Amino acid sequence: MKAACLLTIALCCTLTALSQDLRRRLQAQFIESPDGVIIELPEGRFQLNMALWMDGKNNITLKGKGMDKTILSFKDQLAGAEGIKITNSTNITIQDLTVQDSKGDLIKAQLVDGLMLKNVKAEWTGKPSKENGAYALYPVQCKNVLIDSCVAIGASDAGIYVGQSQYVVVSNSKAYHNVAGIEIENTLYADVFNNEATENTGGILIFDLPNLVQKKGGHVRVFNNHVHHNNYPNFAPKGNIVGKVPLGTGLMILATNNVEIYNNRIINNRTAGTAIASYYIAEIPIKDASYYPYPGQIYIHDNVYSRKHQRTTMKGRMGLMFRLKVKFGKDVPHIIYDGIVDDKVQHPAICIRNNENQSIGNIKAANKFKGISREMKAFDCEGIKQREVELNVGK
């Protein structure tokens, strides 16, 4: 950091001014600030009627007086679906503030190299609703992303969602009352650790989807997280893939390769502590020739599983599957695998060992759920350990 370049522009005088005035000043600063500026926000609650957008900036920090102390509310905004949008920039930091109630995503970053979100709360207030925006914290097509000590609440898709990005760390954060707590989608090299995902429909999702610009994700490590009580009814608007996630999903891997899941506490997620599935389980036709729909090189080890002796959810299409086809009753295995495999692959796609209370249900979905197996042995292998992600942030 070039300390000499750092300038502080205080906005203290706007404390009593109208929030609309603050929006105009902030937006002007977002556009006109030279490199290296710290834009400081005062303590207080500010009602902004339009999205704030920063584009093409380097080394800018937006800093409040603390989570829940500086609050930017976008409730009833007139324009711009997002709360804060950052595009085509390098080394941008947002820290120590709360953003609330935008129509669309709360903080979206696209094509940013070096994004730090620290001590930021992004929330939709009130009861979780399908009217809430899709993503609370939403880096997409970014590189070198650090999301640390953040809180995401109420997203009708995913609280912390990293899509089509590379070199990502999500740590020490909390996600609750979202459809998906934390989602890593079509993203390469991600470490997700020391987070708490609770009371979402699904806690942590690692997805690879077809028809996207960044085709392939993977090399993801999920460790030391507390993924518990993710039994919140799915409130995603219809038509979204996340709407297919059954309530009670702790951790789910969909069609992603090279994923290591370890040292997590995966507790009381009533449908599946961990679900591993191919894209076929979504029952959506695939029209992307370059897309690989099967999960592979998955290594699940040294986690702690625990659940109440109770039935899975009976809701939705997945509920139907559990009720009519799979019939585990109350003795639901901790790990559920759809068993849809790529016949061309010889080596084991999934290794599971050394987990406390580990149990599996291979539901053989490709075989019309015939021959469902709880056999652990086929998965007892030494899997691939993924490398630590090294971020190149703030350099």
Q: Does 128 bind other proteins (CB under 8 A)?
A: no
Contacts of 339 (CB under 8 A, 6+ apart): 362, 363, 364, 365, 366, 367, 373
Pick from 19, 42, 43, 50: which binds other proteins (CB under 8 A)? 50
Shortest distance, CB of residue 393 to other proteins, whole angstroms? 21
Pick from 28, 314, 324, 381: which binds other proteins (CB under 8 A)? 28
Q: How far apart are CA 181 and CA 161, in angstroms?
A: 8
User: Based on CB atoms, which residue is closest to other proteins, 105 or 123?
Assistant: 105
Distances (CA, A) of 365 to 305, 351, 376: 24, 19, 17
Q: Does 1 bind other proteins (CB under 8 A)?
A: no
Q: Does 98 bind other proteins (CB under 8 A)?
A: no
* Contact flags string 187-216 toward other proteins, x per CB under 8 A: ----------------------x-xxx---
Distances (CA, A) of 234 to 23, 81, 125, 178, 287: 34, 23, 17, 9, 27
Q: Which residue has the tokens 């800018």?
A: 60
Residues in 222-261 that interact with other proteins by CB under 8 A: 237-241
Q: Does 133 bind other proteins (CB under 8 A)?
A: yes
Question: Which of the stretches 63-71, 125-133, 146-154, 337-345 binds other proteins when contact is defined by CB under 8 A?
Answer: 125-133
Q: Does 60 bind other proteins (CB under 8 A)?
A: no
Question: Which of the stretches 257-265, 279-287, 354-362, 375-383 binds other proteins when contact is defined by CB under 8 A?
Answer: 279-287
Contact 102, 79 (CB under 8 A): no
User: Based on CB atoms, which residue is closest to other proteins, 143 or 228?
Assistant: 143
Q: Does 66 bind other proteins (CB under 8 A)?
A: no
DSSP characters for 125-155?
-SS--TTS-SEEEEEES-EEEEEES-EEE--
The number of residues that bind other proteins (CB under 8 A) is 60
Pick from 70, 77, 187, 198: which binds other proteins (CB under 8 A)? 77
Q: How far apart are CA 316 and CA 98, in angstroms?
A: 34
Contacts of 56 (CB under 8 A, 6+ apart): 87, 88, 89
Q: Does 390 bind other proteins (CB under 8 A)?
A: no
Q: Does 288 bind other proteins (CB under 8 A)?
A: yes
Contacts of 144 (CB under 8 A, 6+ apart): 113, 114, 115, 166, 167, 391, 392, 393
Q: Does 55 bind other proteins (CB under 8 A)?
A: yes
DSSP characters for 184-245?
EES-EEEEEES-EEESSSEEEEEE--SS-SS---EEEEEES-EEE---PPP-PPTT-GGGGS
User: Based on CB atoms, which residue is closest to other proteins, 23 or 229?
Assistant: 23
Rule CB under 8 A: which residues touch other proteins? Answer: 7-10, 12-13, 23-25, 27-28, 30-32, 34, 49-50, 53-56, 77-81, 87-88, 102-105, 110, 130-135, 138, 140-141, 156-157, 161, 163-164, 209, 211-213, 237-241, 284-285, 287-288
